[in-house]
Amino acid sequence: MLLDETATGVFTIAATPFLPDGTLDLDSLDRMVAFYEEKGATGLTILGMMGEAGKLSEKESRIVIDRVVTRASVPVIVGVSAPGLAALKALADAAMDREAAGVMVAPPGHLRTDDQITGYFQMVAETLGETPWVLQDFPLVTGVQMTAKVCRAIFDACPTCVMLKHEDWPGLDKITTLRRQEAAGARRVSILCGNGGQFLLEEMIRGADGAMTGFAYPEMMADVVRLMQAGDEARARDLFDAYLPLIRYESQPGLGLAIRKHILARRGAIAHATVRRPGPALTPETLAEVETLIARQEARLAALG
Amino acid sequence: MLLDETATGVFTIAATPFLPDGTLDLDSLDRMVAFYEEKGATGLTILGMMGEAGKLSEKESRIVIDRVVTRASVPVIVGVSAPGLAALKALADAAMDREAAGVMVAPPGHLRTDDQITGYFQMVAETLGETPWVLQDFPLVTGVQMTAKVCRAIFDACPTCVMLKHEDWPGLDKITTLRRQEAAGARRVSILCGNGGQFLLEEMIRGADGAMTGFAYPEMMADVVRLMQAGDEARARDLFDAYLPLIRYESQPGLGLAIRKHILARRGAIAHATVRRPGPALTPETLAEVETLIARQEARLAALG
Amino acid sequence: MLLDETATGVFTIAATPFLPDGTLDLDSLDRMVAFYEEKGATGLTILGMMGEAGKLSEKESRIVIDRVVTRASVPVIVGVSAPGLAALKALADAAMDREAAGVMVAPPGHLRTDDQITGYFQMVAETLGETPWVLQDFPLVTGVQMTAKVCRAIFDACPTCVMLKHEDWPGLDKITTLRRQEAAGARRVSILCGNGGQFLLEEMIRGADGAMTGFAYPEMMADVVRLMQAGDEARARDLFDAYLPLIRYESQPGLGLAIRKHILARRGAIAHATVRRPGPALTPETLAEVETLIARQEARLAALG
Amino acid sequence: MLLDETATGVFTIAATPFLPDGTLDLDSLDRMVAFYEEKGATGLTILGMMGEAGKLSEKESRIVIDRVVTRASVPVIVGVSAPGLAALKALADAAMDREAAGVMVAPPGHLRTDDQITGYFQMVAETLGETPWVLQDFPLVTGVQMTAKVCRAIFDACPTCVMLKHEDWPGLDKITTLRRQEAAGARRVSILCGNGGQFLLEEMIRGADGAMTGFAYPEMMADVVRLMQAGDEARARDLFDAYLPLIRYESQPGLGLAIRKHILARRGAIAHATVRRPGPALTPETLAEVETLIARQEARLAALG
């Protein structure tokens, strides 16, 4: 089951669970996969930034791929961004051999000009051969700014690029522009959105197909996407607003991952909130703030019915 | 009335209103000052990034200073960040001659090491003489990261630095650290927070004295600060949450300024939403999203009573 | 006498001389202008980065413009880069009112995509009206990377852009590409090169019209350009190589300006080597190294005859 | 034979040779190791930036380590910089198992504050255990600026850090400062310098122990270091100056690697000049310029005797 441009719903960005000593926690990995599916994920994305991919050795990356693909009943996308094409290719091959649905690639941070960016992704596409892949557009972290024109040049040059992970900020008008290009005849791609879900409502209005991010309550994203696709915007907004104070709190760069792992552990999805070094530790003040936000969130959800 | 470390409440970051042809709109400037004060501002900050300071000529900057200081009945802080100390000094002198309360300085983007940063601000303090000043800590835009240790080194070396404009992200633990240093004997500074108000609740819990940001509904900030200072956290949270969907939407970098000017014009605070070139234009989709957010916000506020 | 695309030779990037207390040294400014002309400058560029433009107040900038244009018998280009178009326009007007030959503009550091860059310079051209201007391409300092394609798009969109200050690194192939475009029918622009003269020989081979940089021995640049234009490459190389150890030493970023001012003072072109704060101080070790390099340079030049 | 603070001479930064199709060229690797030793290398550094380390898969990296360590009769340092500590550790273990002399680590590009930098390297040192390592200070490429104070803090905190690869620019005063700290009682470290050898003369005067860079004529570095250590500065300068035009030409970022491989192939050290994608191709103009520079260099060396 290979990824294609019809992908929709919620591809949760999966965390990578560790034991307190920093080694991989494979039992938690299994439990977490089940948790995400139970909460409505239509796909999983592993070894992304939130998955602490950069902190794993190549061997560990392969173990995670193997385990998740084996356990998941939904399509799995594997982040394979690497400083060079050889490492990218090696990881992509490992993923596709294990029957992943596709891979995801972010641009290396030194790319600046339009031609550098499109040139890079053409090499990526050649390197990947027939493997379907996701273009990750996350300028806040990569420092690489891709206009809608550049994204489209990549889609045109690379038929195997079937999805945009949209995480530009601001980026709503980019979705509108891409969908207009398609209305005018350009090839359709799936657009799933990141940014912690902060703009999910407006992203759906602009034409996104769903979410690809790691908010610790994936059911919010699944419900909002479903309601928006069903035309029930009012209900989608009520639900979204109920979660928003926590979405906002999780959106703190760097800290967000630690908060999400804390909440995933609190919800029983993983055994330990361990973040691999170097990574932030949550202060008692932060933990208290999270508790307050969760308590109020639960009250609002109860009131919504 | 000079700025000192007891400053509290809401120092609204003021927009700079323009006529449709891009020239200064001084009538709107007057009206906007009145609007901000009416909505609870305890101070004003002009010629900040949101005030499009970088797009004004030196002459225009002086006109804005003159006009606002003349009309305002609250203290006025003037942003004087400049590539060099001579221009910074010239603008600061113009501000203080007009009886501004103090000035605000952000670090130039090339500063990297701790010593470069503290060294720069020591030169700033020498240059400013007795003028009280605000340290602006906004790494998302300046690219300069100042730890709590570096901030404290600046406070220690520069007695005229009386306030931190806190806009680090994540930055809540920095407030806690600074307040702990003070509890252990360090000199107190006023801490007013930015980031569009997105973390105002938690910032107050951590020990901030209020807000310094440009959210288009300054009354939200005034009310939240007042309620938190009065100990009514539950009510403060209800109010904050009612505004949060719009706070979030305004937080889009670059676009946020145009959205704020649009809302200020919509509320009658200024005549035109004009942003000087180069600046973003709001698409019909964006305008529609803002309308929806305002309508829902008004409904929530009505429900709160 | 307005700047146009036939400009050739050496437009020396002029320093701004200061007295030991940091105030403008106008007598030295006069002497320095005479010195540059005597050493073969066919033009002068003032208020560039090496001119410490960012450290001057607007008033001081006007004084420098006035003085240099009055004293110089060669065309004067004025650097007018500014965070916003209003300040850029104000300074450009001041320059052209004083009969400068044209102005020079570098891109603000936040520009990334091709469209952002060309869009910015189209606004600059509109703002400047009929004033001829120089496109400054200096990615090491600005962080903005412009391909030959983007430069050409700017030349095509802006007939008033008559010169490229070429300072990309590596940038030799860019010159070749631009000259090929012109051989194929594109509009010719003057190309003067920077980078402290480190690649002047190869730049001339590739088709440059001369140099625009601040090496403290402008006669080297004048002679090399003259010899290359006269077809005497062997002699040009001998001369260039004789100066190269010092060219290299001056090329140290940040420090280079202080070294150049030291040598200019040593040569009697200015009275004091003062660099405005914040700026580097030269250590005794550095001064000794410069002396050795100059002594060996003089010996080599004597040997060359 | 483990690396320690007495290391001196020239640790050549080794290229990684590829066949025209981009696969590893192990025969050339052998020949290149012999070439470097023949030309006076007292050590080798492999898998650095010039070694295209980022473009190798983990498996290829291990093959290169194995081959070079087996063939070399001088100590071998292995670059192990990686986005995370697990990959760094895996590669370092592979290197030390094969009897490398030590490893080299550059800071990840997101580090900014002094505490972040020292904290990172303390984790590195803990991760590496007893393995001796080299601190790589190359801000032009990494974007991370380390003051002499920060370097010293790292040396103090990490006894296993025995060498600084010095590549700051400007960086001469940093060497002087570090050596003064040692004269005042701080622990000595070996300092080998990079930057393509452009400042080797002055670096030796300031107290460096030699060079660690990839200039295609390693004999220049070996001779200059030997002559400087023997006190024959005049002869060292004559030799250095004879090579300087080419040193300068090789110093072009990005392009330099391709030029070096071209010259290494021309000298018979490797079979093919292939650079792995993405990498620059040399134009005919560039190749012609290199030929001219080599011809003049040979003439100057012949004249020197």
Residue A28, min C-alpha distance to chain D (Å): 20
CA gap B47, B62 in Å, rounded: 10
Residue B199, min C-alpha distance to chain C (Å): 26
Backbone φ and ψ of A211, nearest 5°: -120, 150
Which H or E run includes A223? helix A218-229
Which H or E run includes A190? strand A190-193
Tokens standing for B114?
A: 């701790």
Under 8 Å CB-to-CB from D60, ≥6 apart: which residues? A86, D24
- Thinking of the domain D9-223, which architecture would CATH place it in? Alpha-Beta Barrel (3.20)
Strand segments (E) across chain D: 9-13, 43-46, 76-79, 102-105, 133-137, 161-166, 190-193, 210-211
Exposed/middle/buried for C167, CB within 10 Å: 0-12, 13-18, 19+? buried
* Minimal-distance CA residue of chain A relative to B245: A241
Residue-wise burial string across B113-146, b where 16 or more C-beta atoms lie within 10 A, e elsewhere: bbbbbbebbeebbebbeebbbbbbbbeeebebbb
Question: In chain D, positions 65-84, which contact chain A (CB-CB < 8 Å)?
Answer: 83-84
**Contact between C55 and B89 using a beta-carbon 8 Å cutoff:** no
CB B273 within 8 A of CB B32: no
**What's the pLDDT tens digit per position in D189-207?**
999 999 999 999 999 999 9
CA gap B26, C120 in Å, rounded: 27
Exposed/middle/buried for B296, CB within 10 Å: 0-12, 13-18, 19+? middle
SS3 label, residue D59: helix
Residue C45, sorted as left (phi over 0), alpha (psi -120 to 50) or beta, turns out to be beta
Local confidence band at A149 (pLDDT 50, 70, 90 cut-offs): very high
**Contact between C90 and B58 using a beta-carbon 8 Å cutoff:** yes
Strand partners, A166: A137, A193
**What's the pLDDT tens digit per position in D3-43?**
999 999 999 999 999 999 999 999 999 999 999 999 999 99
CB C203 within 8 A of CB C193: yes
**What's the pLDDT tens digit per position in A257-294?**
999 999 999 999 999 999 999 889 999 999 999 999 99
Residue A179, min C-alpha distance to chain C (Å): 20
Q: How far is CA D203 from CA D171, D176, D198, D228, in A?
A: 9, 9, 9, 10
Tokens standing for D128?
A: 């590496």
pLDDT for the residue C48: 94
Q: Does the pLDDT value for residue A305 go beyond 90?
A: no
Q: Does the pLDDT value for residue D255 go beyond 90?
A: yes
Local confidence band at A163 (pLDDT 50, 70, 90 cut-offs): very high
Among candidate residues D91, D85, D101, the one with its CA nearest the CA of residue D160: D101
DSSP D18: B
| C212 belongs to an annotated ligand binding site | yes
Mean pLDDT of A300-304: 97
Q: Does the pLDDT value for residue A41 go beyond 90?
A: yes
Q: Which of D172, D198, D296 sits opposite C286 (nearest CB)?
A: D172
pLDDT for the residue A127: 98
SS3 label, residue D128: helix
* Minimal-distance CA residue of chain D relative to C201: D289
Under 8 Å CB-to-CB from D158, ≥6 apart: which residues? D121, D122, D124, D125, D133
Strand partners, A165: A136, A192
CB A148 within 8 A of CB A181: yes
Strand partners, A43: A11
Q: Does the pLDDT value for residue B305 go beyond 90?
A: no
Local confidence band at D261 (pLDDT 50, 70, 90 cut-offs): very high
Whether B286 and chain D come into contact, CB under 8 Å, resolves to no
Under 8 Å CB-to-CB from C304, ≥6 apart: which residues? C238, C239, C242
**What's the pLDDT tens digit per position in C127-164?**
999 999 999 999 999 999 999 999 999 999 999 999 99
Local confidence band at A46 (pLDDT 50, 70, 90 cut-offs): very high
Residue A188, min C-alpha distance to chain C (Å): 24
CA gap A290, A241 in Å, rounded: 17
Annotation: binding site of B for pyruvate:
212
What separation, in Å, do the N-terminal and C-terminal C-alpha atoms of chain C show? 37
Strand partners, B105: B135
Q: How far is CA B108 from CA B84, C60, D38, in A?
A: 9, 21, 49
* Sole residue written with tokens 């002869």: D235
DSSP A109: T
Which H or E run includes C105? strand C102-105
CB C29 within 8 A of CB C58: no
Tokens standing for B41?
A: 């501002």
* 3-state SS record for chain B: CCCCCCCCEEEEECCCCECCCCCECHHHHHHHHHHHHHCCCCEEEECCCCCCHHHCCHHHHHHHHHHHHHHCCCCEEEECCCCCHHHHHHHHHHHHHCCCCEEEECCCCCCCCHHHHHHHHHHHHHHHCCCCEEEEECHHHHCCCCCHHHHHHHHHHCCCEEEEEECCCCCHHHHHHHHHHHHCCCCCCEEEECHHHCCHHHHHHHCCCEECCCCCCHHHHHHHHHHHHCCCHHHHHHHHHHHHHHHHHHCCCCHHHHHHHHHHHHCCCCCCCCCCCCCCCCCHHHHHHHHHHHHHHHHHHHHHC
* Minimal-distance CA residue of chain A relative to B288: A202
Which H or E run includes D258? helix D255-266
Within chain C, where are the H helices? 26-38, 58-71, 85-97, 114-128, 139-142, 148-157, 172-183, 200-206, 218-229, 233-250, 255-266, 284-304
CA gap A216, A41 in Å, rounded: 12
Tokens standing for D30?
A: 């052998």
Q: How far is CA C141 from CA B110, B162, D108, D285, in A?
A: 10, 33, 21, 27
- Residue C52 with chain B: CB contacts under 8 Å: 84
Using CB atoms, list chains with 3+ pairs below 8 Å to chain D: A, B, C
Mean pLDDT of B73-86: 96
Tokens standing for C96?
A: 């052209």
Q: Which of D59, D85, D278 sits opposite A55 (nearest CB)?
A: D85
User: Which stretches of chain C score pLDDT less than 50?
Assistant: none
Local confidence band at D228 (pLDDT 50, 70, 90 cut-offs): very high
In one-letter notation, the amino acid at residue C11 is: F
- Residue B147 with chain D: CB contacts under 8 Å: 113-115
- Arithmetic mean of pLDDT over chain B: 97
**What's the pLDDT tens digit per position in B253-296?**
999 999 999 999 999 999 999 999 988 999 999 999 999 999 99
CA gap D155, C230 in Å, rounded: 56
Under 8 Å CB-to-CB from D176, ≥6 apart: which residues? C283, C285, D206, D207
Tokens standing for D204?
A: 């030796």
Beta-carbon count within 10 A of B89 CB: 18
pLDDT for the residue D156: 98
**What's the pLDDT tens digit per position in D40-96?**
999 999 999 999 999 999 999 999 999 999 999 999 999 999 989 999 999 999 999
Exposed/middle/buried for A38, CB within 10 Å: 0-12, 13-18, 19+? exposed
**Contact between D112 and B149 using a beta-carbon 8 Å cutoff:** no
In one-letter notation, the amino acid at residue D107 is: P
Backbone φ and ψ of B42, nearest 5°: -95, 0
**Contact between A149 and C112 using a beta-carbon 8 Å cutoff:** no
pLDDT for the residue B245: 98
- Residue D176 with chain C: CB contacts under 8 Å: 283, 285
**What's the pLDDT tens digit per position in D95-148?**
999 999 999 999 999 999 999 999 999 999 999 999 999 999 999 999 999 999
Distance of CA A237 to the CA centre of its chain: 22
Q: What is the CA radius of gyration of chain A?
A: 18
Q: Which of C115, C145, C149 sits opposite A112 (nearest CB)?
A: C145
CB D266 within 8 A of CB D216: no
Whether C112 and chain A come into contact, CB under 8 Å, resolves to yes
Q: Does the pLDDT value for residue D243 go beyond 90?
A: yes
Using CB atoms, list chains with 3+ pairs below 8 Å to chain A: B, C, D
Under 8 Å CB-to-CB from D80, ≥6 apart: which residues? D47, D88, D91, D92, D95, D103, D104, D105
Beta-carbon count within 10 A of C124 CB: 25
pLDDT for the residue D305: 87
CA gap D64, A247 in Å, rounded: 47
**Contact between A113 and C114 using a beta-carbon 8 Å cutoff:** yes
In one-letter notation, the amino acid at residue C67 is: R
**Contact between C283 and D253 using a beta-carbon 8 Å cutoff:** no
